[in-house]
Amino acid sequence: MQKIKTALLSYGMSGKVFHAPFLDIHPGFELLGSWERSKKLIQEDYPTVKSYPSIDELLSDNVDLVIVNTPVGTHYEYAKKVLLAGKHAVVEKAFTTTVAEAEELAAIAKEKGLKLAVFQNRRWDSDFKTVQKVIKEGTLGDLVEAEFHFDRYNPLLSPKAHKETANDGAGILKDLGPHLIDQAVCLFGSPKSVFGDIRYTRENSLVDDWIDLLLIYEDFRVRLKASFFVREANPAYTIHGKKGSFLKPRGDVQEDELKLGKKPNLE
């Protein structure tokens, strides 16, 4: 089997934890390296791969697939550059900052016969998989309402400038919101309408840090919430049906174990 030669556009936490370990172990992929602007770190973990000094040098290499795992506000620019170079692309959430940007990227990929996908790793969280199983089995009967939370207690502003500077890619709606929205759509399909409440709750915050989204379905409602001021965690998933209720805390351990250096396996 010919391996898919893959490169990353950054090797920060995302590249180190969510991408490189899986690309390295999967027999269908070959990790070629990462674009590294300043810190040269990837070769400390993977000595045989390359550290590209520029995106142009990366794209000129024999790369099949590029992971666009840069700050959200740069996704459109870099994904377009990748596609125009004739490379397949996987783009982290949030895919782009506007619908028009997303549609343009999709059109370029279609025109060039390239694969373009959004990286939605939270579909494989164990807690979400459990919720998926309960709903599929029909244990709760006809569903009445659901509430999903992705809460944290982060009262202080992040030292990462791209997360706290007012720009189209910053804020909790585009950071944690895509996970909640994607999981709701995976489970229930597209809603008929959506209402949203977005707030700035931290002192001196320039970006949204509290969201409350209401998804309206025919006979069903889904509320999606995320906040940086939740000291005592709510259930991550609360689902009420006509035959019962199901509450599930956020309990997936994969991210924590990957951060500690534990490697994934294929079993």
Is 174 a residue whose pLDDT tops 90?
Answer: yes
**Is 14 within the bounds of a domain?**
yes
Residue recorded with tokens 């209402």: 195
Is 116 a residue whose pLDDT tops 80?
Answer: yes
Residue 163: the pLDDT is 84
Residue 39: the pLDDT is 84
Domain CATH number, residue 241: 3.30.360.10
Residue 237: the pLDDT is 98
Out of 88, 119, 150, a domain closes at 119
Residue 164: the pLDDT is 86
Mean pLDDT across 206-219: 97
**Is 264 within the bounds of a domain?**
no
Note the pLDDT tens digit of each residue in 46-79. 999 999 999 999 999 999 999 999 999 999 999 9
Residue 259: the pLDDT is 84
Same-domain status, 98 and 173:
no
Is 261 a residue whose pLDDT tops 90?
Answer: no
Mean pLDDT across 166-185: 94
Domain that holds residue 98: 4-119
Domain CATH number, residue 103: 3.40.50.720
Mean pLDDT across 31-53: 95
Residue 46: the pLDDT is 96
The pTM of this model reads 0.91
